Structure 1
Amino acid sequence: MLYQQVDTAVIDGESLPWVPFTPYSEDVLLKYFKLDPVRGEWIVRMKAPIGMQLPKHHHTGTVIVYTIEGQWKYKEHDWVAGPGSVVYETAASTHTPEVVSTESTDSYVETLVIVTGDLVFVDENDKVMAIENWKTAMQRYLAYCEKHDIEPKDLTAFN
């Protein structure tokens, strides 16, 4: 691709499916917007139900999480992120996300997440259990589209 062909683009979220975060959870849903094989970046919306604890994981790169709805925290921290908050995670950080209950009517938390690099899922002894990145996200997205007869979009395209 020539650099002249790369331009500002909009990604229509309404045209993208919510994909279950299998094999980890059928209740956590992901909407992939961009999967960049060059930088190893993935942009995804995530929905998780109240009371859900996601697996402990380690980041090889930075992560930015913008909370759209609901509240969540890390088991290892005493703060709670709510609507409108931004959490910036440094490379080489390890934590366990939890969706916390709120006084509002939200039954889930919804976030926009920008991940650079790998998510390395670890057990209580920090032994590696699984690795997630742009490539595993693409495999999950394509498998979901095939199973549900959805024409997949090229989430790696620059325009």
Structure 2
Amino acid sequence: MTQPSALLSTDLPPISCLPGDALPWLPMSADLPGLAIKYLHINAAEDTLTALLKMPAGGTLPRHRHEGEVFVHTLQGAWRYREYDWVAHAGSTVLEPAGSVHTPETLGAPGEDVITLNVMRGDLVLLDDDGRETARENCRVALLRQRKHARTAPDDAAPFVTR
């Protein structure tokens, strides 16, 4: 198919498309088996991550704080924050303001994964029971995790990383 040349600029890179299974699910933590992330776009220049997060049902993730706002759209399953009364089901969208602190819990029967689409700006700071920082997730950590598992990432995924 030819591209409409009047609408294209030679200064722009081509539009990229990867098949759905081209980007791998990467393990997030040895302490949380089954927790995996699929980076769709890492934009270090704007400190923004877009990723799918897969979590086993019936689990609790570490309490954490976001230094920037986060948008979460639930694709599959159900989850909630221990600190709130609502439950996010498939199709639900959650907007978390910068500075929010919460403890995610996944709902459902064992074997029913929860999958969310997450757009995160800034750092996610993992907290212990006393509110002290134990670790961080951000673009730098995402790039390191992706590099560690580079043997499973396709070469044509490069356009999905902005430095």
TM-score if structure 2 supplies the norm length?
Answer: 0.84
- Tell me which amino acid in the other structure corresponds to 1:74: Y
How far did residue 145 of structure 1 move? 2.3
8 Å CA contact 1:13–1:33 kept in 2: the answer is no
Higher Cα Rg: structure 1 or 2?
Answer: 2
In structure 2, runs of 5+ residues without a counterpart are: 1-8
The structure 1 residue matched to 2:93, chosen from 86, 95, 98, is: 86
Change (3 A) 1:19 1:96: same
1:130 equivalent to 2:135? Answer yes
Match of 1:22 among 20, 23, 29: 29
1:73 aligns with 2:45: no
User: How far 1:12 moved relative to its partner?
Assistant: 3.8
Instruction: Work out whether residues 45 and 162 of structure 2, in 8 Å CA contact, stay in contact via their aligned partners in 1.
Output: no
1:85-139 alpha-carbon deviations (Å, 9 max, x no partner): 100000010100000126xx97111110000000000111110000110110111
Identity across matched positions, percent: 32
> 1:102-141 residue pairs with structure 2 within 5 A?
107-141=112-146
Following superposition, the deviation at residue 71 of structure 1 comes to 0.1
Runs of 5+ consecutive residues of structure 1 not aligned to the other structure = none
User: Which one-letter code corresponds to 1:88 in the other structure?
Assistant: L
In structure 2, the residue corresponding to 1:120 is in which secondary structure?
strand
Q: Are positions 1:100 and 2:120 aligned together? A: no
**Separation (CA, whole Å) in 1 of partners of 2:144 and 2:84:** 32
Partners of 2:61 and 2:145 lie apart in 1 by 17
Name the count of aligned residue pairs.
Answer: 153
Matched residue SS, 1:14:
coil
Report the counterpart of residue 57 of structure 1 in structure 2.
64
Calculate the aligned-residue CA RMSD, in Å.
2.3
SS of equivalent residue, structure 2 residue 53: strand
Q: Which amino acid aligns with 1:144?
A: H
Whole-Å separation in 1 of the counterparts to 2:15 and 2:69: 23
